[in-house]
Every structure is written in C-alpha cells, then in structure tokens.
Structure 1
Amino acid sequence: MKKGVLLVNLGSPESPTPKDVKPYLDEFLMDKYVIDVPFLLRALIVRGIILQTRPKKSAAAYAKIWWDEGSPLIVLSKRMHKKVQANTSIPVSLAMRYGKPSIESGLQELHDQGVTEVMLFPLYPQHAMASTVTILVLAEEIRKKKFPNMNFTILPAFYNQKDYIRDLSNSIKKHLEDFEYDHLLFSYHGIPERHIRKTDITKSHCKIDGSCCHTPSPAHEFCYRHQCYETTKQVVEFLGIPEGKFSQTFQSRLAGDKWLTPYTDVEINKMPAKGIKKLAVVTPAFVSDCLETLEEIAMEANHEFKEHGGEEFLAIPCLNDDDDWCKTLSRWIDQWAFAQTETAK
C-alpha cells in the first residue's frame, strides 16, 4: 500500500488568446456542476450565447495578467507543489480541473510510482459544487475507468482549520504592515443561491437569510456561504479587527440568476462616499492568485474604487507559495499518511 497525494486547482487556458480561451471556457462552463441546468439548455447558453463573445473578452483579460512563465495560477501552483513535495516523503502530484495538467495525468503520475492510496486534495478552503464537488466526481469517474486498484481519501474543506486560519491571517497581517487601511474587505467568489440549497443535506436549513449561516446545523459541512462567513469570522478574531472595519462580499457572477450577495463591485463603488478612502481587499476563496484576483480585483476593482473617489487600494495576494502555508500542506499530508499506516496495522 503506497500512499500519494493529488493536489487539484481550477486550471487555466494554455495562452491568453481567443483560440485557447474558447476550449477552456467550453470545458469549464459546460460542466454540469458549474452551470447546473439540463444539457441542451446549458449548450444553448454556453455554446450558443456565451462562447460567441466571451473568449475574446476573456483573452484580453488574461493577457493583462499573463506572466512570461505562463498563467499565474499554473506558475504559482507549480511553485507551491514544488515546496510541498520538498517537505514530505510521499509522492505529490499536481492537477487542474480544467485544462492541463489534467486530473487523469496526475493520477497516472502517481500510478506510475506504484501509488494505490491517494489523498484527493482540492485546493479550495470552502466546499462548493462548482469547485470541490466537480473535482471529486471527475476524479472518481477516472479512477473507476483507468485506475480501479486505487483508493481515494478526500480532504474535506479546510476553511476552519487552525493552521489555515493562522497562515491566512499572518499573510494578511504582513501585507497590511505598511498600509493604513480604513476598511478590510473579504471578497469570496460568488455562486448561484440555488447551489447553496442543492448542497443542503437537511433539505430545509439553508434559507439564505440573516440567520441560517450562523445557526448550528449539519448543513454547514457542505454550505459554501456558511464556510465563507466562518473563515471571515475566524480571521477577524485572530487579527483582532474591530467591528465596522471589515465586511464580506461575493465577486464574479453570471447574468440571469440570483447569486450570493452583497456583490463586491457594487459595495466597493459605494465605499468612498461612506468615507472609506483606503481599502484593502483579500480573497480567501482562492489559495492561488488568478484572473479573479489579479484582474477583477487588483485591476478592475482598484480602478472603479478610485473612479468613485477612493484614494488607495491594496489587493492582498493569496497564500500562493508562502513558506508557512506550504509547510502546513506538507504537515497535513504527513499526518494523513501516518494515520493511513496506523489504520493498516
């Protein structure tokens, strides 16, 4: 029984061109866990409408953040992977849900090293259909078809793990040392409200009102909204940020559906009129900087904030390949490997 780990992040187009962005968006948006409507309707929305104009716009956005080494998400994930592997003795592979390196290639890499026990490690702090679930479903489909002798252990959402909260909080603190902020905004990636209800294992708790996320329930194990609020709560407590000096919003949304509110762009544009002139924004739904953090927040939100009267704007980087964070990941891996060995005795 040889153990190994598959780290899985979101993914990226191979280049910031419409030619490469289009198939990436097709794979992403045609995922039934992202746009969760019947196939024919999804195909009409995605291939009949979105992909007619979005690839060119998205390619232009990617071009603004692209690095000489390639996609920031891929580059940063590879740096993180290298540090994590250096701190653990068991094989660790890296994969992306969309694009390359694929989940199949990551599992093949582990298989070629004789691995039969795999920890599946979605690199998302909070659980969601469009991130965690789609990774787990695809990985299981590939396992059954290509690697039937492999066994999976799933790393659950780590939004409330003390090590993660400490590393995230310390990273925020470090970047705020030289920035006298009026307000700290926690901006999480948005999802449709129906996704919250679909992942409610009680089928009754999630009302998406002012109380359900703060009322104890088994539903919280898979509730993205609750887990976002809990992440914010624990970081704020760790850093001792007073009430009124922080808030939480949700960014990125598609038209036509009710998505989690309040919306990041709407709230940011209101802030200067409320006296918030120096704004810091952190994006804890991501562990690696990507289009949503580097372009949507660091560029577009920055610009809009200043257009509405803001003076200074700080986009706090994700954890990326932070040394402490990479050591935490390696420690979690070692703890899992030890527990597996003890169980097998």
Structure 2
Amino acid sequence: MDNNKKVGVLLVNLGTPDEPTGPAVKRFLGEFLHDKRVVDLSRWLWCPLLHGIILPIRSPRVAKLYQSIWMDEGSPLMVYSKRQRSKLQERLSIPVALGMNYGQPSMTHGLKELQGQGVERIIVLPLYPQYSSSTNAAVFDQVAKSLKSMPVVPELTFIRDYHDHPAYIKALANQVRDAWKTQGQGQSLLCSFHGIPKRYADNGDVYPFHCLRTTELLKEELGLGSEQIMMTYQSRFGREEWLQPYTDKTLEKLPAQDLKNIDVFCPGFSSDCLETLEEIQEQNKEIFMHAGGQHFRYISCLNDSDAHIDMMSAIVSPYLQPE
C-alpha cells in the first residue's frame, strides 16, 4: 500500500431544501421520499401517491415550518454542517468536504471536491450515530452510485455508525451537563430519536438496539437512575406503526404522571434541524404544556460545538494512517 496517498474526509448528512419555499421543499422531499431505503413500498403504488397527492399538499405546509426556523445564513442543518466541515478541516489539517444524501451539495459534488484536491483515500463519515438502513445504508448506496460516474475510484473507508463510541457519549453528556448548568435540571431527561417503521426493525434493522444502547450509556455517563431518563421516537409519517413509544404521545401523558418538569434531548441528530427546532422545541413543547406541563427545556444538538468536533476527530483519526 502507498503510505503517501493523500487522505480526506467526506462528512455526510441528510440534506435540506435550498430555501424555505414550496418549490424548493417539493424538490427536496421528492428526492428524499423517492429513495427506496426511506420508503420501500412498490414504486407503482408509491410514485403516483407521492407525486400526485403527498408532495402537492405537504410541500407548502413544510415550507412554512422551515420559514419559522430559517437562519440568516440559511437552513440550520446546512449552517451547522458547513461550520462542522470548516472546524474539522482546521482540526485535522486535511481536506474535508460535505456531501448531502439529498439536495445540495450532492454526494458526487463532495467526492469530486476531494479528488480535485488530490485526495486518493476518502473516509466517509455519515453523521447518523445509530445505524439504520434508511439512513446509513442509504449513504452507502449514494456513495456507490456517485462513484459509477468517476474514472478513478478512490480508496474508501466507510464508518458505519458510532452509537457507542466513548467520544460520542462523552460529547452528549457534556452537552446535557452544560444545559443543566444554564437552564436547570428537570425531573427526567427524555431522549427523542427519529423513528422508523416498526416493520423495518422486524425485518432486522438494528436501529432500535443502537438507540437503546446510546441511551443506556448516556444514563451511566450522567449517573442517572432509571426513573430519571426515558427514550422515545419522533417524526413518524404515514399510517403504519412506527417504533414506540412515540415522543408526542409520551409528552402528552407525562404531566398526569406528575412529571411536569422535563428536559428533552435528541441524541441521534448531529445538527439542529426542522425535526428538533420546530417539531420538538415548538410542537411537542406545546403538547406538553397544554397537557399540564410546567417546564419544558429543549437541549440543543451538538451542532458545531468543540465537543462535537473533538468527537469527529476521535472517530476519524484512527483511519488517517494506513495499516
């Protein structure tokens, strides 16, 4: 093996609309929801439903939600992703590029950007800590698809997941502790992960086991008792059963169980986005308070914090030198 091959990192996240408008959201959702890893229904059934009903109705509604969280620099997920890329590149002193699974910058763009800088070995880091076929595997598919159009395929290292990596657990714990110092600590910490259809898990997806493991390790790191932490799933879509317990239904019931002071954290999201800032911090807070809750504290994602960059560096560093 040539030990002098230049190394680079491709950071991957889901992606985001280019702007908070109906047409932009429609383009993004069309690409996202057309991926068979995300929705595995038969194409003859799903495509007419998606393009004929779901996108025309859902896109304008989702665009309004994006407008409520849009930052001066753009979509929160993109803003934080760009900052993560810049900080990690500065930390590692090697090329780092962004490649979104859907939308721009595309996976192909990210890979070509690295190759344009002379990179011959690429470490692909999907920023999904817990493995799921609907996310991490979809990244692998997209990388493979992108490479088909390239005359030279680089050496690849694909980091499948990091749900139990010590640096990740430490970063999560520090984020929670910092929030407690400034906001105070509630009666219980609710860890809300993005849901997937239960059918996916029944067919072998390890995602729920990874979520549970992350929550258990976070509990241990924070020194919490079992009654001080809970795990739920958010963002379900459609009518079929998804992983339970559901975040919104849980928050609706907690005040009646005398849990009226709650902290909510989303460990599976590497950047704040629509699902955290609007769905959790706004919609789910309203559900909880309407049900009799008194204090709802949302703990932000790791975003571009120093602890997050430390974690990324710790995960990537072992792969920087060839064996």
The aligned residue for residue 261 of structure 1 is 244
- Indicate whether 1:197 and 2:202 are aligned: yes
Deviations 1:180-239 (A, max 9, x none): 3012101000001122233x2xxxxxxxxxxxxxxxxxxxxx600000000000000110
Matches within 5 A, 1:47-66: 47-66=51-70
The aligned residue for residue 212 of structure 1 is none
1:27 corresponds, among 24, 31, 34, to 31
2:109 corresponds, among 83, 105, 108, to 105
2:177 corresponds, among 166, 173, 180, to 173
The one-letter code of the counterpart of 1:37 is L
The one-letter code of the counterpart of 1:44 is P
The aligned residue for residue 301 of structure 2 is 318
The aligned residue for residue 191 of structure 2 is 186
Matches within 5 A, 1:147-162: 147-162=151-166
TM-score by length of 2: 0.96
Alignment partners' CA distance in 1, 2:94 and 2:152: 21
The aligned residue for residue 124 of structure 2 is 120
The one-letter code of the counterpart of 1:170 is N
C-alpha displacement of 1:147: 4.6
- More off after superposition, 43-52 vs 9-18: 43-52
Where 1:169 maps in the other structure, the secondary structure is: helix
The one-letter code of the counterpart of 2:126 is P
The aligned residue for residue 234 of structure 2 is 251
The one-letter code of the counterpart of 1:136 is F
The one-letter code of the counterpart of 1:282 is F
- Indicate whether 1:296 and 2:279 are aligned: yes
C-alpha displacement of 1:325: 1.7
Where 2:124 maps in the other structure, the secondary structure is: strand
- More off after superposition, 292-301 vs 150-159: 150-159
The aligned residue for residue 260 of structure 2 is 277
C-alpha displacement of 1:146: 1.6
Q: Percent identity?
A: 39
Alignment partners' CA distance in 2, 1:176 and 1:231: 19
C-alpha displacement of 1:49: 2.0
Alignment partners' CA distance in 2, 1:169 and 1:67: 27
Alignment partners' CA distance in 1, 2:151 and 2:108: 9
Where 2:270 maps in the other structure, the secondary structure is: coil
Contact 1:186 1:248 in 2 (8 A): yes
Alignment partners' CA distance in 2, 1:100 and 1:314: 32
Where 1:75 maps in the other structure, the secondary structure is: helix
- Indicate whether 1:237 and 2:220 are aligned: yes
The aligned residue for residue 217 of structure 1 is none
Where 2:233 maps in the other structure, the secondary structure is: strand
C-alpha displacement of 1:240: 0.7
The one-letter code of the counterpart of 1:307 is H
RMSD over aligned Cα, in angstroms?
1.2
The one-letter code of the counterpart of 2:85 is H
TM-score by length of 1: 0.90
Where 1:165 maps in the other structure, the secondary structure is: helix
Alignment partners' CA distance in 1, 2:243 and 2:128: 18
Alignment partners' CA distance in 2, 1:235 and 1:15: 35
Deviations 1:61-89 (A, max 9, x none): 11110111100000011111111110112
Alignment partners' CA distance in 2, 1:274 and 1:285: 26
Deviations 1:273-293 (A, max 9, x none): 111111110001111000000
Alignment partners' CA distance in 1, 2:258 and 2:96: 48
C-alpha displacement of 1:90: 1.9
Where 2:9 maps in the other structure, the secondary structure is: strand
Deviations 1:283-341 (A, max 9, x none): 01111000000000001111111111111111110000110220221233232112x1x
Where 2:268 maps in the other structure, the secondary structure is: coil
Contact 1:88 1:333 in 2 (8 A): no
Identify unmatched segments of 5+ residues in structure 2. Answer: none
The aligned residue for residue 21 of structure 2 is 17
Deviations 1:1-56 (A, max 9, x none): 22111000111001111011001010011111100112222202311221121001
The one-letter code of the counterpart of 2:164 is N
- Indicate whether 1:309 and 2:292 are aligned: yes
Contact 2:8 2:122 in 1 (8 A): yes
Alignment partners' CA distance in 2, 1:146 and 1:82: 26
Contact 2:262 2:295 in 1 (8 A): yes
The number of residue pairs the alignment matches comes to: 318
